[in-house]
Structure 1
Amino acid sequence: MTPRDERRYPELLRVPRVADDAWLSQPEAARQLGTALFRVGALLACGHLAPADNSAGRAGVTITSVQAEKAWRDNATYRAKALRLLKDTVGFF
């Protein structure tokens, strides 16, 4: 299997490589956010979490984006959460 960094992905699909201490796997991000792994994928697709690779080339997310998402969830009003859900749903279609 070819390592991720040696594959010829279009520029839009390239993911930044970050230090291991700034990276989380998607299952660990789901645990920290208290949500399902599927939801982490949805948050990535909507741009609420930042994708990143670690030094070994494994896909995951940045710790700062998980912390920002957690802070947003803790402080957002019900109205803000509903508007975000509506925006994400419309953006999906």
Structure 2
Amino acid sequence: MDTVEHDAWMSQAEAARLLGVALIRVGMLIANRRLIPAEDPAGRAGVTTASVQAEEIWRAKATKQAKLARLLKDTINWF
């Protein structure tokens, strides 16, 4: 896991709030490489701000069908 500057990092809980999803969904997004895991300089685990921003953009532009298809794919990959 890469270490990034504090302004390029956010906690998983903060990412969940920003994306409007449950914390477990953030774990699924990390496992499916939708969010990029990173540590801040203090060594706390989280995700990169850039990956959260990219996810926000995708969610804003994706159709309901695309979102459902990705959710199903991610769920299968989770197991």
TM-score by length of 1: 0.79
**Pairwise CA RMSD of aligned residues?**
1.0
Distance 2:71 2:22 in 1: 16
Aligned residues: 79
SS at match of 1:67: helix
Percent identity over paired residues: 59
Amino acid at match of 1:66: V
How far the C-alpha of 1:80 sits from its partner, in A, is 0.9
TM-score by length of 2: 0.92
| 5+ long unaligned stretches in structure 2 | none
Structure of larger gyration radius: 1
The answer to whether the 8 Å contact 2:6/2:41 transfers is yes
Q: Which one has more relative contact order, counting CA pairs under 8 Å at least 6 apart?
A: 2
**Runs of 4+ more than 3 Å apart:** none
Counterpart of 1:61 in structure 2: which amino acid?
V
Which ranges of structure 1 fall in alignment gaps of 5 or more residues? 1-14
